[in-house]
Amino acid sequence: MSRAVRNRIAGLVFALAIFVIDQAFKDWVRNGLDLREVGLVEILPFFDLRWTQNYGVSLGMLTATSVEMRWILVALTSAIALFVFVWMMRERKLVDIAALALVLGGALGNIRDRFQFGYVIDYADLHFGEFRPFLIFNIADAAITVGVVIILARSLLSRDKPDPANEPEIAPES
């Protein structure tokens, strides 16, 4: 088995792990803590668990105001997840595959929520007094964000060095 195939299998296992952790935590928040009824659990002075039903996608955009819109969002996000999966299966480097696995695992977690409940369960509230640098989020959102940041950083900061064997020889001038 080639290294690229092993890396892709590791990426699939990583994506599955992100999905399982996200769903387990959402189940605990929903059923163990009963956060929907409790509403708020203060963890630290700057971090709370707060029940939120997110009917939109990133930053609350494309809010599903109808059943039809809900299923359009499921279809749209599923298509994006499929694109990420295909992209991941074409990559060879573990770091690129891991970043895409973060995005895929997180996307699948949020797709499952929207499919099952009609909304995504968000609960993590990072705040500094009244200042909130992020909207309330979940593990899937964090995984997607970290994955996208890694992908962007690698595309902006890393350059493949040209292979000297492929460079044409330049004849010295006489």
Active site residues: 122, 141
Q: What is the dihedral of CA 134, 13, 83, 60, to 10 degrees?
A: -20
* Nearest in space to 117 (alpha carbons), one of 59, 49, 64, 61: 64
Look at residue 91 and give its three-state secondary structure.
coil
Residue 56 to residue 66: CA distance in whole angstroms: 11
Question: Residues, the chain, total?
Answer: 174
Contact predicate 104/148, CB 8 Å: no
Q: Are 71 and 62 in contact (CB under 8 A)?
A: no
